[in-house]
Amino acid sequence: MTDAPGASPRPSIGLLEAVTITIGIVVGAGIYRTPSLVAGAADNAGSVLLAWAAGGLISIVGALCYAELAASFPHAGGDYHFLSRAFGRRLAFLYGWARLSVIQTGSIALLAFVFGDYASQLVHLGPWSASVYAAGAVAAITVIQWCGVRAGTRVQNWLTGLEIAGLGVVIVAGLIIAPAAPPEPTAQGTGEFGLVMVFVLLTFGGWSEAVYFSAELKGARRRMAPVLIYSLLVITALYVTANAAYLRALGLAGTARSEAVAADVMQLAFGPAGAALISLFIATAALTSVNATVFTGARSAFAWGRDHPALAWLGRWDPAAATPRHGLVVQGLAALALVLAGSFTRDGFRTAVEYTAPVFWAFLLLVGLALFRLRRLEPQAERPFRVPLYPLLPAVFVATNAYLLYSSVAYTGRGALFGLGVVAAGAVLLSLLPTSRRKQAATDRGSPRS
């Protein structure tokens, strides 16, 4: 069956699949890389563990805000839909454009390169090995997702299980098998807790992607909050124990100096064989994140295309496969183009994608503000879940995103202009497209009200 213009997402994803997708997006290569940055900015081991626990708590605060939005307005568009509903379709269009052109597709390409780098450590394919692996991963996962939601979620379940098992081996190695590092009597780091939290929250990033399958989640109105909270509790437990393992085996100074903390721990525990194991674990983690990111990204592309007649071909849903096949193809081709570009200019490409971080945090800040605005604009809307301690917790979420926006602009400096250029290109595209006069309600046809 071909994609049907009037077809819409229907509930087909269970609680387990939703949790594995969310965990798969968040737990990527970051937990194998950022702990050294966190340790380098912390003044003692206790503050490192406190920071990772605080990162989980702050993420749960944000998840509670997202749970209210997703339970009240379940839609395949996720953030795009919330922004459209709260601030209008022009602003939402710019977000949809930035997400498809660089943010989401750039994330897929970068994760694919991480997979390629570590897969090449296991089986090298020549001078273009990482690029070949990266392109193959993007193409293979896009085909799996194109086959249907069942194939995509089954692969995600297996990959997430392998990913958690791999991280579990690292944790056991650091906590039990590797010899403990000698005590460190003095502080080692700078004590800049704000900088520490930037690194920590970046490693927790991605949980908000869960809202992109809210229209497909069975019982979305009552299950969205549990999906987000359960996922983040598991992730927080993994992150805290992983860092405890790093600190026990390497110490604070050793963790801060290490360029590959997990590899160093595995080396201490298992010798040279540990290097091969960690390459396998990180490659699996990256592939898991690629699969989940492809899944959610195609759904935002579908919602973006559905709202604009000139992009209607992008907003088609295949009811047989229960997936947006056109969105998957376009997203896959865009990601492959970025992989090709990255093959020639890896550093420049990576930097260009990182420069979109201010755009990402700016839109996430707007999503937090959308919660306040939709409470005022649509007070009569059914809200099966409401953020506790409103407006305090949403205010904390908004303030956190504002700080991360500031930090990302300060970090990138003039490079933030690249992100503005992406948004400006979207504004030009919007001005060239025919104006749609359909009412907003028409874009919500078929949204489940579970």
Contact 191, 42 (CB under 8 A): yes
Q: Which residues contact 321 (CB under 8 A, 6 or more apart)?
A: 146, 147, 148, 149
Instruction: State the Cα–Cα distance between residues 249 and 270, nearest whole angstrom.
Output: 13
Q: Does any domain span residue 443?
A: no
Instruction: State the Cα–Cα distance between residues 232 and 236, nearest whole angstrom.
Output: 6
Contact 364, 209 (CB under 8 A): no
Q: Which residue has the tokens 């009811």?
A: 319
Instruction: State the Cα–Cα distance between residues 80 and 209, nearest whole angstrom.
Output: 11
Instruction: State the Cα–Cα distance between residues 86 and 65, nearest whole angstrom.
Output: 14
Tokens of 6: 């009037």
Q: Does any domain span residue 445?
A: no
Tokens of 108: 């897929």
Tokens of 444: 């919500």
Q: Does any domain span residue 135?
A: yes
Q: Is 418 helix (H, G, I), strand (E, B) or coil?
A: helix
Q: Which residue has the tokens 């269009």?
A: 93
Which CATH number goes with the domain that contains 229?
Answer: 1.20.1740.10
Instruction: State the Cα–Cα distance between residues 376 and 258, nearest whole angstrom.
Output: 50
Cβ-based burial of 429 (10 A; exposed 0-12, middle 13-18, buried ≥19): middle
Give the pLDDT confidence of 186-216 residue by residue, as tens digits.
555 555 666 788 788 888 988 988 888 888 8
Specify the pLDDT at position 443: 41
Nearest to 215 by CA among 323, 105, 290: 323
What's the pTM value of the predicted model, to 2 decimals?
A: 0.84
Nearest to 98 by CA among 449, 330, 364, 424: 424
Provide the domain count of the chain: 1
Q: Cα 150 vs. chain centroid, distance in angstroms?
A: 21
Kindly state the helix (H) or strand (E) to which residue 165 belongs, with its residue range.
Answer: helix 149-172
Q: Does any domain span residue 439?
A: no
Q: Which residue has the tokens 């492959």?
A: 336
Distances (CA, A) of 345 to 98, 350, 351, 413: 21, 8, 10, 21
Beta-ladder partners of 13: 217
Instruction: State the Cα–Cα distance between residues 274 and 58, nearest whole angstrom.
Output: 34
Contact 38, 350 (CB under 8 A): no
DSSP strand E in 23-107: where?
none
Neighbours of 174 (CB within 10 A): 27
Domain that holds residue 121: 15-431
SS3 content of the chain, % helix, strand, coil (to 5): 75, 0, 20
State the DSSP code for 314.
Answer: G
Instruction: State the Cα–Cα distance between residues 168 and 303, nearest whole angstrom.
Output: 37
Q: Does any domain span residue 315?
A: yes
Q: Does any domain span residue 6?
A: no
Specify the pLDDT at position 348: 62
State the DSSP code for 419.
Answer: H
Contact 235, 53 (CB under 8 A): no
Which parts of the chain sit beneath pLDDT 50? 1, 436-450
Instruction: State the Cα–Cα distance between residues 98 and 94, nearest whole angstrom.
Output: 6
Q: Does any domain span residue 283?
A: yes
Q: Does any domain span residue 8?
A: no
Tokens of 177: 């098998």
Give the pLDDT confidence of 392-448 residue by residue, as tens digits.
999 999 998 998 888 888 877 777 788 888 889 999 998 888 764 444 444 443 343
Nearest to 187 by CA among 256, 265, 239: 256
